[in-house]
Structure 1
Amino acid sequence: MHEAGTALLWMENSTVVTPLRQPIVFELEGFYIPPGNGSFLFFLALFNYIVVLLANGVVMCVIVIDKNLHRPMFVLVCNLVVCDLLGSTAVLPRLMMHSLTGEKRIGYMAAIAQAFSVHTYGAAMQTILGAMAYDRYIAVCEPLRYHAIMTPARLNACCILAWSVALLCIIVLFALHANTPLCGNTIRHVYCSNRTILSLACGPTPINNIYGLSMTWFLSTGIFVIIAFSYLRILHASVKQGRADSRVRSKAFQTCSTHLVVYLLYQVAALIIIVSQRFTSVSKNIKKFFSILLIIMPPAVNPIIYGLVSKELRASIFKHLTIKVSPK
């Protein structure tokens, strides 16, 4: 009896990990990399991170420096840049470290911080795009009242609301499993997320699953409805105004095309991830690569899209990056 009790106690202590009792160290499964090839993944992640930092950094600095860009559309673009930097910084530096050193352990608090940042990035990306759709709707449908409606106070309220909704949703998500006992410590993924951490739970977590699915559905559907409504009204207004002046219709479509491309890019990346997880024939490495598309693709492409399409932003970037050599 004593030996059985001792064995049971040993099994409990070795397999059940409770966050409140002792610190946890997770082991990230990461990519399967043949020996000696870790440097390739390191340089790939490093290249992507440099592109993200440079592209987003340039856009942010130009918007902050150039007073002509201190307008609602560009302020919201700046918020989108911050969101992109949050998501990529949460994943890529640690991925580089893991691929270079082969050390894939991550502490409990670091895992929670990474997962929280990744989910906040995903939620805030959608809420900020929703706020941008509202701004474009006012700009096209109410051009004469635009500055009266989108005052600095209302713009700040839109930004605060976008971040607050995203943070509140994610705080509740992680608060639900703060005391959930975990069994095992191997996270079978490239980075930590709510789902991968909860997969280590010692028992079922129905409340967490229901809330997570409900939050994702309501947030995605709500933002989709806002964007769809805004663009239907924009389309109607631009066609109506365009009958009198074709330049009005052209300018309206050009103004809104950038935002729509960014939104579709995010949704396509999310769809690729969802579809890839449904096919068992797809290798684990490919699935894991697809799973980080949402982290690496929008942050790298978004500033390039805005820089190419927006004439004002492009002109300001060229103006501030051009080195003027004065004659001796």
Structure 2
Amino acid sequence: MENYTYNSLTLELEGLKVTKTSKYPVFVILLLTYGFILIANVGIMVLIWTERSLQQPMYLLFCNLSINDVMGNSLLVPRVLADILVPSSERFIHYYECVMQAFILHMFGANAHTVLMIMAFDRYIAICNPLQYATIMTDKMVIKLTVSAWGVAFVLVGILLGLTIRLNRCRTRITNPYCDNASLFKLSCESVFINNVYGLTFTVVLLSSSIGSIILTYAKITAACLTSKSKSLNSKALKTCSTHLCLYLIMLLSGMILIILHRFPQYADYGKISAILFHVIPGSLNPIIYGLQSQEIHKCLSNMRHLKKVTPSF
């Protein structure tokens, strides 16, 4: 008969399975990647907030994505790095820390969708209604869109974790590399039917809203470009929309791979790796793609380099 420990505050975290020979290379690669995520995203945010020419709705909304990437990876990667250096039998996490980690990481996933949705709205207004853009996308509108993106994610994830916290726990082992909602409610011996129903509804609503809004927005943008004879409009649409769409597809593809691998228990180790890559890849690529495609960011960076060269040293 299996022994149960009810409502224990100490949980076992299985984490990544790494061999002794691969432990340090994996640690170094992950540490360097995390350092790049911090430097690139924080650098983009500082540049946008300090340069007046970049204080436009498009870049201010992108700051939300950088904040989200820094927040999600700062909670996940340091913990994974610490666990890599510790034997699997000694990887423990407090229940409340586990809940907080699950909340922040689900916020990361939900925010990625909601922020990209409001960025799509901004691109739609800029390309389809360029004459009204300044009157629509005011500072107040940017604040409203930002609050809406984070507020919707907060409410949805709050309900998701709230339904899980109410359950009594009879198990202590989490088989994932980090805490998430599914890992937490699987610790319970009670019925988790409501959790499964809401979790499925949460995923379907978020994905359908996200994909639907992106398809609708880009359909209207495409129609506007086809009917317009302005080369400058079409060039602007191609540059800004290709960047936004690329960010969205990276996020969507990373999430889809994770969801698919969850369906195949025999590939559990690959699922753990994809779970970490879901956070690391978008956080690494988002600032690169956005920075490379933005002429304004290029100009600011080149001006800064030029000033450093011409500034005399004493």
TM-score greater than 0.5 by the shorter chain: yes
Specify the alignment match of 2:312 in structure 1.
Answer: 326
Residue 301 of structure 2 aligns with an amino acid whose one-letter code is I
Residue 206 (str. 1) matches residue 190 (str. 2): no
Gaps of 5+ in 2: none
2:135 corresponds to which of 148, 166, 183? 148
The equivalent position to 1:315 in structure 2, one of 280, 293, 299, is 299
Q: Percent identity?
A: 33
Deviations 1:194-220 (CA, angstroms, capped at 9, x unpaired): 001111111221111111110111011
Of 245-254 and 109-118, the range deviating more from structure 2: 245-254
The CA deviation string for residues 245-303 of structure 1, in whole angstroms up to 9 with x for no partner, is 32321221112111110001111111211223334553x32221012221111001000
Equivalent position amino acid for 1:206 in 2: F
**Following the alignment from structure 2 to structure 1, what is the Cα–Cα distance between the partners of residues 42 and 301?**
11
Q: Does 1:298 align with 2:282?
A: yes
* Partner in structure 2 of residue 101 of structure 1: 86
Pick from 88, 110, 132 the counterpart of residue 97 of structure 2: 110
TM-score (norm 1): 0.90
Does the 8 A contact of 2:23 with 2:85 survive in 1?
yes
Structure 2 length-normalised TM: 0.94
Counterpart CA distance in 2 for 1:327 and 1:317 is 20
- Rate the CA distance shift 1:327–1:98 in 2: closer, same or farther, 3 A: closer
String of CA shifts for 1:107-166, please: whole Å, max 9, x gaps: 011101111010000001100000000000000000001000111111110000000000
Deviating above 4 A after TM superposition, structure 1's stretches of 4 or more consecutive aligned residues are none
User: How well do the aligned residues superpose, as a CA RMSD in angstroms?
Assistant: 1.8
AA matched with 2:256 = L
Match of 1:197 among 172, 175, 184: 184
5 Å-filtered alignment, 1:60-209, equals 60-102=45-87, 103-209=90-196
Q: 1:318 to 1:106 in 2, by over 3 A?
A: farther
Q: Does 1:276 align with 2:265?
A: no
- Select the structure of larger CA radius of gyration: 1
**Which one is further off, 171-180 or 284-293?**
284-293
Q: Distance in 1 between matches of 2:218 and 2:154?
A: 26
**Cα 1:307–1:231, aligned 2, differ >3 Å: closer, same or farther?**
same
Q: Which amino acid aligns with 1:236?
A: A
SS at match of 2:304: helix
Question: Which digits, 9 at most, give the CA deviation of each residue in 1:88-121, with x for residues without a partner?
Answer: 1121000111112334111011101111010000
CA separation of 1:70/1:210 partners in 2, compared to 1, >3 Å: closer, same or farther? same
1:247 aligns with 2:232: yes
Hey, what's the Cα distance between the residues in 1 that align with 2:283 and 2:134?
Answer: 30
> Equivalent residue for 1:5?
none
**Structure 1 stretches of 5 or more lacking a match?**
1-7
Q: Secondary structure at the match of 1:183?
A: coil
Q: Would the aligned equivalents of 1:59 and 1:317 in 2 still touch at CA under 8 Å? A: no
Q: Provide the C-alpha distance between the structure 1 equivalents of 2:40 and 2:74, rounded to a whole number of angstroms.
A: 14
Moved more, 74-83 or 97-106: 97-106
Letter in 1 for 2:172: N
Is 1:17–1:24's contact at 8 Å kept on the other side of the alignment?
A: no
How many residue pairs are counted as aligned between the two chains? Answer: 310
Assess if the C-alpha contact under 8 Å between 1:16 and 1:181 holds in 2: no
